[in-house]
Each structure stands twice: as structure tokens, then as C-alpha cells.
Amino acid sequence: GTIIENFTLQFSEGDVVSAKAERGQDALDTLLSTDEGARSIGEVALVPHNSPISQSDLLFYNTLYDENASNHLALGRAYRFTMKDGAEMSDEDFAEAGGNNSLIHVDFMMGSADTNIDGITADGQREPVFRNGDWAFEV
């Protein structure tokens, strides 16, 4: 129920090492100190700007709706079902396979009609993923 506005997160080796917010700093600090996994990413979701929720031009202040309007990341727990056999793994095995365990899973949205995202391949080549808020290839 707390809004954290205009914040920046600095990552190093996969963990948040610095966090600043214009509004909601105490809430952000509390989230990040929940447990060891709270400082790591648990979800990355790319959502085209032309999604129906985005096109409604409404901000619902409800993550379950708003996350369908924009690209978003989540700090904290990763969804086990996204990893092969993840749902059957122990916490230790899930973490060993690269999954993030935490008591929190907090989404934050970002993006616009101008969003451009590139992926970087293993050999260092840049591949367009998003251009102007939409997929750069047919899905």
C-alpha cells in the first residue's frame, strides 16, 4: 500500500547496492533489508506499450493490473514454475540453479512508447528486442 516514487537502483554483481527514492525511501529500505534475496531480481517481464491495459491510460495503483501495462522487474522471489522442475526443487536446489528465494516479490513498472531494449549475445553482439515500446521481431 506504499508508493515508492522516482527511485533508482544501482546493481553490482546482481544485487542492489544503492537505492534512492524521492518518496518512500523508508519503505524501499525496509523492502531491501527483508532478507538476502530481497536485493536481487526475481522477475523480468517485457510488456509492449500497446497492451490493452497500457492503452487504457489509467494508473490503477494495483500491481496486478499495472504490471500488465508496462515492462517490469520484481525484487525478491522468483517464480519457481519458470524453471524446469523448479516447483519440485528444495530452496537450496532452486538457489543453486539460479532461482532467487525471498519473502518478498515486489514489482515495479517502467517503460513508454519510446522504450528501446537490446539483448547482448554471448559473443558481445547487440540484438534488438524492443523498439519504440514494442517487440523488435515477430512473436
The pLDDT of residue 52 is above 80:
yes
120, β-bridge pairs: 126
Q: What is the mean pLDDT of residues 10-33?
A: 96
All 3 cell numbers of residue 44? 523480468
Q: Do the Cβ atoms of 91 and 134 come closer than 8 Å?
A: no
3-state secondary structure 86-127: HHHCCHHHHHHCCCCCCCCEEEEEECCCCCCEEEECCCCCEE
Give the CA distances from residue 103 to residues 2, 44, 52, 86, 106, in Å, rounded to whole numbers and listed in that order.
17, 18, 31, 17, 10
At 61 the pLDDT is 85
Percent of the chain with pLDDT over 90: 77
At 55 the pLDDT is 87
pTM for the whole structure: 0.83
How far apart (Å, rounded) are the C-alpha atoms in residues 137 and 134?
A: 9
The pLDDT of residue 78 is above 90:
yes
The pLDDT of residue 139 is above 80:
no
At 24 the pLDDT is 96
